[in-house]
Amino acid sequence: MTFARIWRGRTTRDKADDYERYWRAHGVEPLQRRGALAVQMLREDRPDECEFVTISYWDSIEAMGAGPDPTRTHHLPRDPEFLIDLPEHVQILTVLETHGTI
């Protein structure tokens, strides 16, 4: 069974490029080192803000290393500097089926 852990965060347009660089280096790369099967980064540019989404795939909830509450968000040290608000939870979904490649 595979699980998808989905994190969302928003930043202002003027901070988006800096946050993307920070997020790649300090958010996504560590997920890969911790054993994520795959990681997807998504970005939506809106007129006043940008939304970032990270989807990481895991072979178990325990493998996520998220502690007793796997839906609890673990913020990066500089997240308060960049993010409009600090989400408290992530979404965890069971992957039922996958078709094709990206």
| 87 belongs to a structural domain | yes
| 102 belongs to a structural domain | no
Our measurement of the distance from residue 5's CA atom to the centroid of its chain's CA atoms, rounded to an integer in Å, reads 7
Q: CATH number for the domain including 79?
A: 3.30.70.100
| 64 belongs to a structural domain | yes
pLDDT tens, residue by residue, 56-89: 999 998 888 767 888 998 889 999 999 999 999 9
Question: How many domains are contained in the chain?
Answer: 1
* Distance, CA of 98 to CA of 11 (rounded, Å): 30
pLDDT confidence of residue 7: 95
Q: Which two tokens stand for residue 59?
A: 């072979």
Identify the domain containing residue 78 by its residue range.
2-95
pLDDT confidence of residue 66: 67
| 73 belongs to a structural domain | yes
